[in-house]
Chain A
Amino acid sequence: MSQDNKEKEIYGTCNSFQELIFELQKYWSAHGCTIAQPYDMEMGAGTFHPATFLRAIGPEPWRAAYVQPCRRPTDGRYGENPNRLQHYYQFQVLLKPSPDNIQQLYLDSLNAIGVDTDTHDIRFVEDNWESPTLGAWGLGWEVWLDGMEISQFTYFQQIGGLDCKPVTGEITYGLERIAMCLQDCSNIFDLVWTESNGHKVTYGDLYHQNEVEMSRYNFELANTDSLFDWFDTCESECMNLINQDLPLPAYEMTMKASHAFNLLDARGAISVTERQRYILRVRTLSHAVAQAFYESRESLNFPLLKK
């Protein structure tokens, strides 16, 4: 058996980044999830997607899975670090209420993408999640695959300051990390995104230039004066929209404010004390949006309850 074939046997079927996504979508679709699409705005984590943040609020059941590109300007390394990116992908799964077999469903998904759980050392290690800007927290684990953190697993307890009832179980796969394990690859940019007719398209082909340029923008060029103004604008727009009973556009303003804050942070434009104040300002918006969204669903008699 050639080395390549042997590896395939060990690691299973997802030899490319896109196959990994396909397999996860197929798996979770088979388990009753709506396969949602990425949200078309900048966000720091898949949790910001309305399919998570808003759907976790209130009594309506919800099952969804989707890919979400995430931006963390401070994590940029100009494409020079083989493990860090300022733009990367999360695969997000929401199960509300969290089913009894949620851990087993997750483990089965690993087997589906080619991680043999009788070969690899899989561990659920305590990790309590808190998002100060979203006014949200939950308890759960980071999942280790041979010592590598590949997923976050959280039972939401509060979102936007509201108690979660029922509780949503959130599973977040770190796609690049899992792909690196599956492809036995030690540099993100060498990951195979897809392969056809012996022609490989790598992650680096798609994103290396993006990392270089965006790192420059994030760290060196982003116009901080405009961003401060933009933050203020988003904040006041958000409150206006809430007063107009429009929680969805208000939430978009919250996300924009949050991203502006992240950029300002990367530029080192926010002092330590100010930092806390900005986080609180975003949290105030999240709380207001969460409350408004709950009320809007209530006024519609929580339509998903009937299904």
Chain B
Amino acid sequence: MSNTQNLLIEIGTEELPPKSLKKLASAFKDEMIKSFNEEKLNFSDANWYATPRRLSLIINNLEVKQEDKQQQRRGPALAAAYDAEGKPTKATEGFAKSCGVSVDQLEKLETDKGTWLAFNAVIKGKETTELISAIIETALGRLPIAKRMRWGDSDVEFVRPVKWVLILFGTDYLDCEIMGITSGKESFGHRFHHPHAVSINAPENYIETLKKEAHVLVDYNERRTLIESQVNAIAEENNGIAIIDPDLLDEVTALVEWPVSFVGEFNSDFLKLPKEVLISSMQDHQKYFPVVDTKGNLLPYFISVANIESKNPALVKRGNERVIQPRLNDAAFFWERDLKHGLANHIESLKKVIYQKQLGTLFDKSDRLQKSVLHLAKPLNIEIDQAKRAAALCLCDLLTDMVSEFPALQGTMGRYYAEADGEDGQVAIALEEYYQPRFAGDALPTSALGQCLAISEKIDSLVGIFAIGKAPTGDKDPFGLRRSAIGLLRIIIECNLDIDLKELITNAAANYPTDINSNNCIDDVYHFLMERLRRYYLDEGVSPDTFESVLAINTSKPLDFHHRLTAVTEFRKLTQAESLAAANKRISNILKKSEITDIKQVNDNLLTEESEITLAKSLNEYQKRLAPMIEKRDYKSALTELAGLRENVDNFFDNVMVNCEDDATRINRLALLNSLSALFLKTADISKLQS
């Protein structure tokens, strides 16, 4: 590599949004790399750093200038370049001038179409320092910022106001105009510990200098690891184990430049509240880490991370304790009030809450669910009364005080309140499982009743929202239907439920009043679900053609689909798979070309060649052997078995001419191929498999 230097860029800002800090910093790096590549500036590696008040990058071994480029410019044709007297024409002079040379300095370019005047220019590569300002501005302009803001009297827009910019290239401080700020020679330290400037003498010393002189741990991952170990150590000192949610750890990391963790306490009377309420109060509202004992029971402690080595840490601790107290007081108040009210007493009030303008109230939804669960009660082997009760109650907790204060606890509170009201235990569990899976990778309902309720809810939403024309488009999915669809499919497949999607959709559609015209969307919902099924499998690493081979069978039972897909995936690992797939493709082409619509049974008397006699015979045997396997949906064994046909099939194609002169023989051979293909199609259309 040519002459290189390390480059440090630090954009100092007012406090950045913690939930997007990591994304911003890494996008900054990616965009810078993209720009360096576009400008053909090579470097060895790049790293991002971030705190609440800075986005930084270090690019190692960056070329100090672009390489020179050769560029040939073609001028007028030689024949037209000079007039009768041999003087250059105006066009020729113009061309020379535009190249910055005299006419006699132009060269001749000979091609098979004639000779031209030309100029071979050397384009000087630009210095990195000339380009850097535009590169940074472009990268910052491309950051994924949901809402940009302006400040003061400026027209500059960024995620938060920019305070300083430092660009250090080797030992040179570059003078650039970035986001309305002239870059300087200094960084700044921690807001309170070191509010003044810090000088950084080389990009290599950036991290250490900020750490040693300025109370700033600029390395995000180092800070994250430090917080994690501080929190764990404090939990251990208090004979507990910290619950560290990775997202919360990220958020806390993005809220401090100099983490100082400490423990606080709350009144142990609050431990009588549902665990989830306490955890939510600590995590969501206060960004605290909860602490449990070895049995998983909460302890009356929280661990918080301050951004300061306080002159009086006891005050910081007390202040934090003063905040959690009223929050838990509120929670206790809601808990008592909700318990007194009773869950079932909210049923009437569901009539007052709109679910969706055209689709009616929450009461209407609950009413539809009570009908939906009836269809599922039998296949899932659950009591109809239980199912109806669960459907009647599953939306009630939305009206409790606790859920209006802690929306994330919907379902969970339903379970607690149902238990307290003495509802059936299965019903109580189902009220929580109703919402599962809540996100990608979340646990599925474990109880049959929970599965029944969760499926009913998801299909009811899909059908209703599709019926009123609000199906997801592009990146718009305001009702989260993609997630619902994946959740629905996951429950059916991963919980082994023998449910037919078409029936499910049709039943759900029938629960809507006729003016919603829900019947019109049945096919759309079905196709939407099959597309989600494709996404589900492709995300799991299934290859697209494997999926296609099963899709072609048109099974509307996801579980059946799944068994077939697993069988094909296994089949593809066999050595015989490729040649059998090719054979099936060939058969499918031959049958298509034959244009015979009515293919009869194979007539053994018309078989003449040895290879076709053997194949016909083995087909007969296979049909008998496979029938019980297909019956049991043991597609895997069926396909493994069929792999044994490979030799006979290969022999057939090697020795037998299908399209022979004699019509009867030909048609009989087509019939033979057709029954071979049909045998495979009982599992999947393996002619779709690519080699």
Contacts and interface: CB of A to CB of B under 8 A. Distances in A.
A196 to B, nearest CB: 27
B319 A147 contact: yes
A12 interface: no
B69 interface: no
A116 B325 CA distance: 23
B310 to A, nearest CB: 5
Contact of A120 (B52, B160, B163, B319): B319
B312 A10 contact: yes
A120 B317 CA distance: 10
A82 B325 CA distance: 11
B319 A145 contact: yes
Nearest to B146: A128
Interface in B286-340: 286, 304, 306-308, 310-312, 315-316, 318-320, 322-326, 329-330, 333
B326 A82 contact: yes
Contacts of B19: 126
Contacts of A146: 306, 315-316, 318-320, 322-323
Interface in B176-197: 191-192
A233 B507 CA distance: 49
Contact of A119 (B14, B18, B315, B354): B315
B357 A273 contact: yes
A126 B159 CA distance: 11
Contacts of A147: 286, 304, 319-320, 323-324
B650 to A, nearest CB: 67
A99 to B, nearest CB: 7
B86 interface: no
Pick from B152, B318, B329 the residue with the most CB of A within 10 Å. B152
B626 to A, nearest CB: 58
B76 interface: no
A28 B319 CA distance: 26
B147 A273 contact: no
A98 interface: yes
Contacts of B16: 126
Given A148-B323, A272-B354, A157 B150 contact: yes
B449 interface: no
Contacts of A164: 150
Interface string B254-272: 0100000000000000000
A118 B306 CA distance: 12
A97 interface: yes
Contacts of B134: none
A209 interface: no
Contacts of B353: 272
Contacts of A181: 319, 322
Contact of B17 (A83, A126, A155, A186): A126
Contacts of A2: none
A76 to B, nearest CB: 14
A60 B192 CA distance: 34
Nearest to A83: B326
A124 B319 contact: no
B151 interface: yes
B23 to A, nearest CB: 13
A272 B322 CA distance: 34
Contacts of A298: none
A179 to B, nearest CB: 13
Contacts of B315: 10, 119-120, 146
Query: Interface size for chain A: under 10, 10 to 19, 20 to 34, or 35 or more residues?
Result: 35 or more
A226 interface: no
Contacts of B93: none
A121 B18 contact: no
Contacts of B319: 120-121, 145-148, 181
Contact of B192 (A81, A83, A118, A124): A118
A97 B255 contact: no
A112 B18 CA distance: 29
B625 interface: no
B14 A103 contact: yes
B108 interface: no
B649 to A, nearest CB: 65
Contacts of B354: 271-273
Contact of A121 (B153, B306, B329): B306
Interface string B637-652: 0000000000000000
A253 interface: no
A151 to B, nearest CB: 13
B14 A121 contact: no
B149 interface: yes
A69 interface: no
A93 to B, nearest CB: 16
Interface in B6-25: 14-19
Nearest to A126: B17
Contacts of B52: 124
Contact of A125 (B15, B333, B357): B15
Pick the most buried of B18, B323, B330: most chain A CB atoms within 10 A of its CB: B323
A147 B152 CA distance: 29
A141 interface: yes
A204 interface: no
B438 interface: no
Given A147-B304, A167-B151, A273-B354, A123 B255 contact: yes
A166 B152 contact: yes
> Counting chain A CB atoms within 10 Å of each CB, which of B163, B318, B320 scores highest?
B320
Given A120-B310, A124-B15, A98 B325 contact: no
A100 B179 CA distance: 14
B617 interface: no
A41 interface: no
The residue in A10, A119, A126, A164 that gathers the most chain B C-beta atoms within 10 A of its C-beta is A126
Contacts of B310: 118-121
A124 B322 contact: no
B149 A157 contact: yes
Interface in B155-171: 160-161, 163
Nearest to A116: B311
A25 B329 CA distance: 34
Contacts of A138: 149
Contacts of B329: 81-83
A117 interface: yes
B527 interface: no
B15 A141 contact: yes
Nearest to A185: B322
A117 B286 contact: no
Contact of A155 (B151, B192, B333): B151
A122 interface: yes
A126 B15 contact: yes
A126 B18 contact: yes
Interface string A81-121: 11100000000000001111001000100000000111111
Given A83-B326, A166-B152, A166-B153, A139 B311 contact: no
A97 B192 contact: no
Nearest to B254: A126
A125 B316 contact: no
Instruction: Indicate the member of B17, B286, B304 with the most A CB atoms within 10 Å.
Output: B17
Contacts of A81: 329-330, 333
Contacts of A272: 352-354
B307 A123 contact: yes
20 contacts: A81-B329, A81-B333, A98-B151, A119-B312, A120-B319, A121-B308, A146-B320, A147-B286, A147-B304, A147-B320, A148-B323, A155-B150, A165-B153, A167-B151, A186-B322, A186-B326, A271-B352, A272-B353, A272-B354, A273-B357
Interface of A: 10, 81-83, 97-100, 103, 107, 116-126, 128, 138-139, 141, 145-148, 155, 157, 164-167, 169, 180-181, 184, 186, 271-273
* Smallest CB-CB A-B distances: 6 pairs: A146-B319, A124-B15, A121-B306, A126-B17, A166-B153, A147-B320
Given A166-B152, A272-B354, 12 more contacts: A82-B326, A121-B308, A122-B308, A126-B15, A126-B16, A128-B147, A145-B319, A148-B322, A157-B149, A181-B319, A272-B352, A273-B354
